[in-house]
Structure 1
Amino acid sequence: MFAPLRERNYRLWAAADLVSVAGTWMQVLGLNWLVLSATGSAATMGVVVMLQALPVLLLGGWGGALADRLPARPALIVFQAVRALLALALVVEPGQLWPIYAVALASGVISSVEGPCLGRFGSALVPPSALGSALALGSVLSSAGRILGMSLGGILVGVTGASSLFAINAVTYLVVIVALAVMRTGSMRVLAASPPGEGGVRAGLRYLAGQPVVLVILALSFVLGSLGRNYQVTMAAMVAGPLHGGSASYGLLSTVFAVGAVAGGLLLAGSGRSTLRILLASGLTISLLQLCAGLAPNMLGFAALILPIAAGAVIFDTVISTRVQLDTREDMRGRMLATLGVVSSLSGIVGAPMIGWLCDALGARGALVLAGVVTSVAAVGGGYALARLKGRSLSVRTFVAALPVVGRRTADQLA
């Protein structure tokens, strides 16, 4: 289950990543607090999110090509140093909107290259057989860091103000820099480099066009991401609407979702499996559960469904990332990860407004049911397409057998 942790470099990276994620979410909380305090506008918060996502969408292809050429470790040290300076810029100009916009835009530009670099670097820390477990443990650490960062940030913002959260975040980037600096380069896997003439964006697009399995996986990621991933919107709509809850209820559901995300990461890390069958089974499972969530009679029933939905979503997303890396050439990995980042950005940009509109037009229950039906059909269609590409037959067992196997293997390892 914890095979990646046997690698010293991965242990350093995992510890630094936990600290960094916690700092990042402290800064997110501080920024949200500042924007709402200064403007009282949720739309302004949306602008900040858009400024972070837009560069990834527009520059992702070039960022991936650059990531395939750059030495990952030195590049990441530079990116972390720049992010630390951006966090400090928020400390210098607290309460002003223009530095918030500037930092959001600059962060998005950095992410367009840093994201693919992170993926390539992570795969160099562990052998290919442990990549799935490493990514799953990374999901656990991200969820744990989010809980830790939001909890500490919620306490500190009322005591010391938002500026202290930005300063703490700057320090967490220094922790990552130290971890990168003390890693043993001799223990890292050397990833293949692109041959001459194959290092550009067009070469990456040509390669992707010849990978039908990856294209189907990306299509599934987009459909299920746009209609089945915007849980913050649907949870808020259900709480404010048919469930007749308040802010406390929404906070409870957010906590339940975070716990489910951690459980899903541990489940997948324990199995050590990131197969296409698990991808399809988890995708169909969370789609059907989403449909059922729209019919939940009360808050308790809705929370009981949110827990496995969160676990399944982490499994689905992690297997997507694993397959995109393992089913493509190493010298194309940065560009493929950049493409996945673009798809994720598109699913958020397209899906969040669409789900919000459906909630307004059909009600929260109707939106969840309709989205659940569409994503279920997409999961079955994706399974059929992948089965044809692999020369196999599609059966009900393809969808229902994978997740119990994951759970059973995990239980055996924990026993």
Structure 2
Amino acid sequence: MAPMFAPLRERNYRLWAAADLVSTAGTWMQVLGLNWLILSDTGSAATMGLVVMLQALPVLVLGTWGGALADRLPARPLLIASQAVRALLALALVAHGGHALIFAVALASGVISSFEGPALGRFGSALVPPSALGSALALGSVLSSAGRIGGMALGGVLVGITGPAVLFVINAVSYLAVIGALAAMRLSELRDLPVAAAGERGVLSGLRYIARQPIVLIVLALSFVLGSLGRNYQVSMASMVAGPLHGGSGAYGLLSTVFAVGAVLGGLLLAGTGKSTLRVLLGTGVTISLLQLGAGLAPNVTSFAALILPIAAGAVVFDTVVSTRIQLDTREEMRGRVLAAVGIVSSLSGMVGAPAVGWLCDTVGPRGALLLGGAITTVAAVAGAVAIARVQGRKVHLPHPENLHLPHLPHLPHLQHLPHSEPRLAAEQMA
């Protein structure tokens, strides 16, 4: 069986993947419905930003404790309980008790994510053998992207017909698919993961362990820099369309669709090759940073879309390889705490990056924001390669972009010098 389909040999993984597709679609339907509800009531994008912040803050505060618990407790019962509570929170939104209720639900969702995220990652690695973990994570990215596309498309149709309340009910029901899949799994087929010794089960033990892993620290630093200044394309795309590209809502919708398609292609590419190495990580980081520089120079919507496609594919490759290397290159009994660190970095990069990119767009313009961000992330990716090479005692040798086998793009004569290459259950989680 090809590397892409190797995880599908496992019955438990097949159950999990199918449930995740349904649940992710429900999640994005709720996101759309909630945004619609907030904007129709207040017309304030700042209120939407506050909701996002309330969801991210608990992960920063409680993530380390969530990771420690994930390394101590069995993941399956914890996940069943978290899915049930999420279903109740979705139903609570149906009542629409005002902003206080929405804020409370957002904060509660963030608290759940603090404990659920590390447990999901640890549980996911028990579904497949280590040799199939990279492909399983890549397939998970494909499913998440497909669920997002389907959920947003169906939600966009329903919200105008039924209103947002129905979307919240659908999301609540979608959690039942995950609970059912967890209940139907064969426990005998789950891979046993080691548990830390009694003296190594705390938060401080996890932090000390991470501090002694220089490559993990370098990868997390790269993830933060590229995640904050090399992502947040919802901000920069909107600014480019409204500004120098002179597009409308249709152009923004087109770019959003292209980005989603690129994400699916990136997941399929990585799942098919199974190459989740540090060389691919660093090569992809450099490549998408260079492509971001090209995006800042794109003269029209078509050329911008042609660059957004491999950038999105590369972003998924980069994030998935980060998650794979973090899991495979660390001790399994520390996995929950290491994954908690990944979640904290991801939340922090979103909280810092989105306002920073928005400020840059307002200050130096959308093109300047992309060029400055691309320059910083390029330097960071090269510096990361040098640092990892020194830790490993090797010479720096990034893979040629052609070896990444990323999707070919339409010919862009003015950008010939640029190489053509390039998460509710995010890329760092299973399926």
Q: For this structure pair, what is the TM-score category when the shorter chain's length is used for normalisation?
A: over 0.9
Residue 354 of structure 1: CA displacement? Answer: 1.0
2:360 aligned with 1:358, yes or no? yes
- Give distance in 1, aligned partners of 2:224 and 2:403: 22
- Give distance in 2, aligned partners of 1:163 and 1:65: 36
The letter for the 2-side match of 1:62 is: W
Question: Which contiguous aligned blocks of 4+ residues in structure 1 show a shift greater than 3 angstroms?
Answer: 397-402, 404-407
2:78 aligned with 1:78, yes or no? no
2:132 aligned with 1:130, yes or no? yes
Q: Which residue of 2 aligns with 1:403?
A: 404
- Give distance in 2, aligned partners of 1:181 and 1:349: 35
Q: Percent identity?
A: 75
SS at match of 1:2: helix
- Give distance in 1, aligned partners of 2:138 and 2:406: 16
2:405 aligned with 1:378, yes or no? no
2:47 aligned with 1:38, yes or no? no
Q: Is the 8 A contact 1:284 1:399 kept in 2?
A: no
- Give distance in 1, aligned partners of 2:299 and 2:46: 31
The letter for the 1-side match of 2:186 is: R
2:180 aligned with 1:178, yes or no? yes
1:301-312 map, 5 Å: 301-312=303-314
Q: Is the 8 A contact 2:266 2:406 kept in 1?
A: no
CA RMSD of aligned residues (A): 1.2
Q: Which residue of 1 aligns with 2:50?
A: 47
Segments of structure 1 that go 5 or more residues without pairing to the other structure are: 408-415
1:4-403 map, 5 Å: 4-91=7-94, 93-94=95-96, 96-395=98-397, 397-400=398-401, 402-403=403-404
Q: Is the 8 A contact 2:134 2:276 kept in 1?
A: yes
Residue 195 of structure 1: CA displacement? Answer: 0.4
- Give distance in 1, aligned partners of 2:291 and 2:18: 34
Q: Which residue of 2 aligns with 1:412?
A: none
SS at match of 1:392: coil
- Give distance in 1, aligned partners of 2:62 and 2:379: 32
CA deviations on 1:43-62 (whole Å, 9 max, x unpaired) are 00011101100001111111
Q: Is the 8 A contact 2:241 2:252 kept in 1?
A: yes
- Give distance in 2, aligned partners of 1:107 and 1:163: 18
Aligned residues: 405
- Give distance in 2, aligned partners of 1:290 and 1:377: 13
- Give distance in 2, aligned partners of 1:265 and 1:133: 9
CA deviations on 1:92-117 (whole Å, 9 max, x unpaired) are x1262221111100000000010000
Residue 129 of structure 1: CA displacement? Answer: 0.3
CA deviations on 1:172-209 (whole Å, 9 max, x unpaired) are 00111011001000001000101001111100010001
- Give distance in 1, aligned partners of 2:401 and 2:269: 16
CA deviations on 1:258-291 (whole Å, 9 max, x unpaired) are 0000000000000011000000011011000000
The letter for the 2-side match of 1:53 is: A
- Give distance in 2, aligned partners of 1:293 and 1:127: 39
TM-score for both structures, normalised by structure 2: 0.92
Q: Which residue of 2 aligns with 1:411?
A: none
The letter for the 1-side match of 2:243 is: G
- Give distance in 2, aligned partners of 1:44 and 1:406: 38
Q: Which residue of 1 aligns with 2:428?
A: none
Q: Which residue of 2 aligns with 1:413?
A: none
Q: Is the 8 A contact 2:310 2:406 kept in 1?
A: no
Q: Is the 8 A contact 1:294 1:368 kept in 2?
A: yes
CA deviations on 1:68-95 (whole Å, 9 max, x unpaired) are 111001110000000011111111x126
The letter for the 1-side match of 2:38 is: V
